[in-house]
Amino acid sequence: MSADALEALTSAGIAATSADSFGPTAIDVPPESWVSAHEVLRDAVGLTFFDFLTASDELTDGFRVVSHLADFWGGSHVDHVLVRTLLPRDKPELASLSDVFAGANWHERETFEMFGITFDGHPNLVPLLLPDGFEGHPLRKEFILASRVAKPWPGAKEPGESDHAPAGAPSRRRTLPPGVPDPETWGPRAPGSPDPDPLAPAQAASAPARPRRAGGERRTRRQTE
């Protein structure tokens, strides 16, 4: 099915490429071919079942929008593919699939409010889940979960530590929850203060930890000295 889908897209003049994924085969298409690619997959390949649409925050690379299409045949047999496209972070806009698959309507509304991605041509692009007056987009990686700062994080304590520990008992430095930046780098800013980089905490959290030096390497260095 993945080969048929890729061949149908390229035959239609769409610059599609196949990519490895942990589930179904993923096919990447340019943003300008987003709607036409889904029309080809529905009409020429037979992927008539729309399962879901969502996005992921790829930090400086932008936002990756993903849809899942499927075709049921032969009893319980299912053919399915992921269709993906990458949008720039500074202006995440994409044509709506609501005229191609009616089921995309609610998924695009959810992605709009959670990631701030605009779907051009959507008939009713209004918030779906968040309360009125909510500010920000909770699934963006720069969005700070303030409740993690206001409430003590259980992971900040070592096993055996508690709020009832004897006075004077040793304790380690308080640990911030994952994804919560230092208080000096976010929140209300004094007049004239430089604005913090909203992506800095997320980029720091995504950076791989520095590998530890092997014990054998240390012994070799000591022997050399």
Would the pLDDT of 91 be above 70? yes
| Model pLDDT, residue 58 | 95
Whole-structure pTM value:
0.73
Q: What is the pLDDT of residues 138-184, one digit of tens each?
A: 999 888 776 656 666 565 555 555 555 555 555 555 556 555 666 66
Q: What is the pLDDT of residues 110-122, one digit of tens each?
A: 999 999 999 999 9
Instruction: Identify how many contiguous H helices and E strands the chain contains and give both numbers.
Output: 6, 7
Q: Other C-beta atoms within 10 Å of 198: how many?
A: 15
CA atoms 43, 76, 66, 109: torsion sign? positive
In this prediction, residue 21 has a pLDDT band, given cuts at 50, 70 and 90, of: confident
